[in-house]
């Protein structure tokens, strides 16, 4: 099973003095797109006003421009440690056992805007860039990434993909046709029986799900296998619209 996670806007600073090397990241065929986006971000950072407009930064966020300017030389750390926020706090990568961490490294890709999907343990620098940002000098991110990411995912030939990305990041690289996958929506059932999508608890539920999977490390190779595991684990999951699963928070 391959799990696709979204990134987080908030990131942990620091890391080790080992600069970004796109050849060391998962899905190496994406190197040209990665280089193009990093070059565009670094170039944009030379003009503070233009960078603030493009990245939609307020006056107190202008320090993020310097973070992007240093992308080529900044310290790196594993992606699953770099990201913070609700989803990654629930996942709790720092407290995973070595075996669980290895499982995450083998089964999880985090879909970033500047680097595309990267391995959970791939070393990346801090950055500021969202899926909907337009960068001077490169095509719209959806156009730049979509086909290339789908092709790269197809080359992995995973037996089953559990897609936990937000819709914005799923659009940057749909799982290709022919690969069994399910897009997960986190929902709640009200007292009236109506099912509603959740926002904040969406992120927490996804992080907790990956944590549970990493701790138990089940062998899952299909949607049916995932549903069976979830039922046995006391999680409520059901097939919904075509290609989708509902995970009840």
What is the per-residue DSSP string for 125-162? ------TT---TTS--HHHHHHHHHHHHHHHH--S-EE
pTM exceeds 0.85: yes
Confidence of residue 191 (pLDDT cuts 50, 70, 90): low
Report the pLDDT value the prediction gives residue 34, as an integer from 0 to 100: 98
Q: How far apart are CA 3 and CA 215, in angstroms?
A: 15
Report the pLDDT value the prediction gives residue 100, as an integer from 0 to 100: 98
Q: How many helices (H) and strands (E) does the chain have?
A: 10, 10
The yes-or-no verdict on residue 212 having pLDDT over 70 is yes
The yes-or-no verdict on residue 10 having pLDDT over 70 is yes
Q: How far apart are CA 181 and CA 126, in angstroms?
A: 30
Report the pLDDT value the prediction gives residue 7, as an integer from 0 to 100: 98
% residues pLDDT > 70 (the chain): 99
Read off the DSSP letter of residue 176.
P
Higher pLDDT, 98 or 197: 98
- Mean residue pLDDT of the chain comes to 95
Mean pLDDT of 118-141: 97
Q: What is the Rg, in whole angstroms, of the alpha carbon atoms belonging to the chain?
A: 18
Q: Which two tokens stand for residue 101?
A: 């961490």
Q: Which residues contact 242 (CB under 8 A, 6 or more apart)?
A: none
The C-alpha angle 88, 91, 95, rounded to 5 degrees, equals 110
Confidence of residue 138 (pLDDT cuts 50, 70, 90): very high
Mean pLDDT of 223-238: 96
Strand-pairing partners, residue 51, are none
Confidence of residue 195 (pLDDT cuts 50, 70, 90): confident
Report the pLDDT value the prediction gives residue 199, as an integer from 0 to 100: 72
């Amino acid at each position: 099973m391959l799990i696709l996670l979204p990134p987080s806007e908030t990131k942990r600073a620091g890391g080790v003095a080992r600069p970004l090397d796109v050849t060391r990241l998962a899905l190496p065929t994406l190197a040209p797109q990665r280089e193009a986006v990093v070059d565009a971000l670094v170039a944009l950072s030379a003009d503070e006003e233009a960078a603030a407009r493009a990245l939609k930064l307020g006056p107190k966020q202008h320090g993020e421009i310097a973070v992007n300017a240093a992308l080529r030389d900044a310290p790196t750390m594993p992606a699953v440690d770099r990201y913070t926020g609700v989803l990654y706090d629930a996942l709790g990568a720092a407290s995973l056992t070595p075996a669980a961490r290895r499982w995450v490294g083998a089964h999880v890709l985090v879909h970033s805007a500047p680097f595309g999907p990267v391995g959970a343990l791939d070393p990346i620098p801090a950055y500021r860039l969202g899926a909907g940002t337009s960068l001077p000098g490169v095509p719209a991110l959806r156009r730049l990434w979509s086909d290339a990411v789908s092709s790269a995912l197809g080359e992995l030939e995973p037996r089953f993909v559990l897609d936990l990305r937000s819709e914005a990041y799923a659009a940057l690289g749909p799982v290709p046709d022919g690969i069994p996958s399910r897009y997960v929506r986190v929902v709640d059932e009200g007292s009236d029986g109506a099912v509603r999508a959740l926002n904040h608890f969406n992120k927490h539920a996804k992080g907790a799900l990956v944590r549970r999977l990493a701790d138990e490390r089940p062998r899952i190779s299909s949607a049916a296998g995932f549903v069976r595991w979830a039922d046995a684990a006391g999680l409520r999951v059901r097939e919904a619209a075509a290609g989708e699963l509902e995970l009840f928070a």
